[in-house]
């Protein structure tokens, strides 16, 4: 019996060591390291900044799929307008001197924002970056605009529309989110065609690739785009198969002049065009950014956003010259992302996790990534506007603070467990906050 009791005690001890991750332990942050991280002039790998606007103007080009067209669904707690953390942002940006979020006081926030926009004029977007200690922000936008200068903002163009040349009339009926989002892609493709002075999609797939897809990508490159962005997970699962050109051409020919394919009938064409676009982007020296993991919308398919669905594309030998970046790091599939980072052409940022998760929760994920491939991890805020009181400035502030705190927590834990020296922790911090992005995009 004594041996059994000892064996049971050992088993329980082993079980506790397996099921209680060391990342869960509270780590007192190394203050000198944290201070150093907050002083790094960062490169923000993913955001949706607004251009400078004049009184009465509205910027609608901050995203190809604006979420305000969706049915209402819950926001994560830290993004809700009543999150008291935003008081800190208001103090830093607008000199807010209240401890509450009373409606009368919030009017001062709106007025202070307008006043700063008027005073800074075209310099306002860069003024926001200076407040966040961000040197360069990657702007995911339909088009750039006033104040979004190439010195401070690098363009990431949206290209899902190039993958969708046929009518979406049938596939958009699958759920209300599709019904809300597909028309925007249809409109964007018409815009791209108009910029090429083409009134309708060509009659064959080969012509469409040669006259629409490649020229649009080349135009985006000339206009300063460093990457192209796919938000495909909002429109379908990310299971892009290796479809043949013949399969794709038959689907294209059948519906190019009328009619609407089903999702199954449309898929081979989308699959083929996704890889063609990615291949052309690589040829032109542009990375391919892909929204992965969770997303907004009550009908969004989280499983369909798993980054593991993209593994066949990552393993395609014809795509090895294309660098792919898993935007948002695939959360809640972040552990799978760590494994995918071992592929030579796959990178990740942790944008959006910076406002969905707390610093300590995010730190656990970051530590796992940094213990695997630290040179593939990039900082990002996913800054965007929510309400008149919580704009891209406040979301950027929250994400910026969370991301830097999480990195300090992760690196402190690695130092105290003897995995890295203090010098190496500083080096990794610089890599994550700016050097990895600068190297990947060859930023001067």
Query: CATH number, domain at 226?
Result: 3.20.20.140
pLDDT tens string, the chain, 444 residues long: the values are: 333 333 333 333 333 333 333 444 466 899 999 999 999 999 999 999 999 998 888 999 999 998 888 898 899 999 999 999 999 999 999 999 999 999 999 999 999 999 999 999 999 999 999 999 999 999 999 999 999 999 999 999 999 999 999 999 999 999 999 999 999 999 999 999 999 999 999 999 999 999 999 999 999 999 999 999 999 999 999 999 999 999 999 999 999 989 999 999 999 999 999 999 999 999 999 999 999 999 999 999 999 999 999 999 999 999 999 999 999 999 999 999 999 999 999 999 999 999 999 999 999 999 999 999 999 999 999 999 999 999 999 999 999 999 999 999 999 999 999 999 999 999 999 999 999 999 999 998
Q: Does any domain span residue 294?
A: yes
Q: Does any domain span residue 421?
A: yes
- Number of domains within the chain: 1
How far apart (Å, rounded) are the C-alpha atoms in residues 208 and 219? 15
Omega into 161 within 30° of 0, i.e. cis? no
Q: Rounded to the nearest 5°, which phi and psi values hold at 61? A: -105, 20
| pTM of the shown model | 0.92
Helix, strand, coil shares of the chain, percent, nearest 5, are 55, 10, 35
> Which of 92, 94, 90, 73 lies closest to 82 in space, CA to CA?
90
* pLDDT of res. 26: 64
> Which of 313, 154, 276 lies closest to 227 in space, CA to CA?
154
Q: Does any domain span residue 19?
A: no
Q: Does any domain span residue 115?
A: no
How far apart (Å, rounded) are the C-alpha atoms in residues 4 and 11? 10
Helix 124-132 with 86-94: angle, nearest 10 deg: 120
* pLDDT of res. 56: 82
* pLDDT of res. 429: 98
β-strands 346-349, 324-327: how paired?
parallel
How far apart (Å, rounded) are the C-alpha atoms in residues 442 and 145? 23
Tell me which residue range forms the domain holding 423.
32-77+129-440
Cβ atoms of 134 and 397 closer than 8 Å: no
Nearby residues of 299 by Cβ (< 8 Å), 6 or more positions away: 175, 176, 177, 178
> Which of 178, 179, 292 lies closest to 230 in space, CA to CA?
292
Length of the chain: 444
The residue assigned the tokens 């603070």 is 401
Q: Does any domain span residue 85?
A: no
Q: What DSSP string runs through 342-383?
A: TSTTEEEE-TTHHHHS-HHHHHHHHHHHHTT-GGGEE-----
Q: Does any domain span residue 105?
A: no
Q: Does any domain span residue 124?
A: no
Cβ atoms of 133 and 41 closer than 8 Å: yes
DSSP annotation of 117 reads: H
Q: Does any domain span residue 10?
A: no
């Amino acid at each position: 019996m004594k041996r059994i009791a000892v064996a049971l005690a050992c088993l329980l001890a082993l079980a506790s060591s397996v099921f209680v991750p060391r990342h869960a332990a509270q780590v007192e942050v190394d203050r000198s390291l944290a201070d150093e991280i907050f002083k790094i002039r960062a490169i923000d790998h993913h955001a949706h900044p607004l251009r400078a606007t004049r009184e009465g103007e509205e910027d609608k080009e901050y995203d190809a799929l604006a979420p305000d067209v969706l049915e209402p669904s819950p926001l994560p707690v830290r993004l809700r307008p009543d999150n008291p953390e935003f008081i800190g942002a208001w103090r830093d940006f607008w000199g807010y001197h209240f401890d509450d979020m009373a409606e009368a006081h919030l009017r001062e926030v709106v007025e202070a924002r307008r006043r700063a926009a008027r005073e800074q004029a075209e310099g306002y977007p860069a003024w926001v970056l200076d407040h966040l200690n961000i040197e360069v922000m990657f702007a995911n936008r339909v088009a750039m605009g006033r104040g979004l200068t190439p010195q401070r903002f690098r363009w990431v163009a949206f290209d899902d529309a190039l993958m969708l040349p046929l009518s979406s009339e049938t596939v958009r009926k699958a759920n209300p989110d599709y019904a809300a989002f597909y028309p925007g892609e249809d409109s964007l493709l018409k815009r791209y065609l108009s910029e090429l002075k083409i009134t309708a999609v060509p009659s064959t797939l080969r012509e469409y690739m040669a006259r629409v897809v490649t020229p649009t990508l080349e135009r985006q490159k000339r206009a300063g785009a460093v990457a192209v962005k796919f938000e495909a997970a909002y429109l379908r699962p990310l299971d892009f198969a290796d479809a043949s050109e013949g399969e794709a051409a038959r689907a294209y020919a059948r519906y190019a002049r009328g009619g609407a394919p089903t999702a199954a009938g449309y898929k081979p064409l989308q699959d083929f065009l996704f890889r063609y676009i990615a291949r052309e982007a690589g040829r032109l020296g542009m990375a391919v950014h892909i929204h992965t993991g969770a997303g907004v919308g009550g009908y969004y398919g989280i499983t369909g956003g798993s980054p593991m669905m993209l593994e066949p594309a990552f393993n395609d030998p014809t795509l090895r010259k294309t660098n792919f970046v898993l935007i948002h790091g695939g959360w809640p599939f972040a552990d799978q992302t760590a494994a995918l980072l071992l592929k030579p052409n796959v990178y990740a940022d942790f944008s959006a996790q910076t406002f969905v998760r707390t610093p300590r929760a995010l730190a656990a994920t970051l530590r796992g990534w940094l213990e695997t491939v630290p040179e593939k991890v990039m900082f990002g805020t996913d800054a965007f506007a929510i309400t008149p009181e919580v704009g891209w400035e406040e979301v950027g502030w929250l994400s910026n603070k969370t991301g830097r705190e999480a990195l300090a927590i992760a690196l402190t834990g690695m130092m105290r467990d003897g995995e890295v020296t203090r010098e190496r922790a500083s080096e990794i911090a610089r890599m994550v906050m700016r050097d990895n992005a600068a190297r990947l995009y060859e930023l001067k």
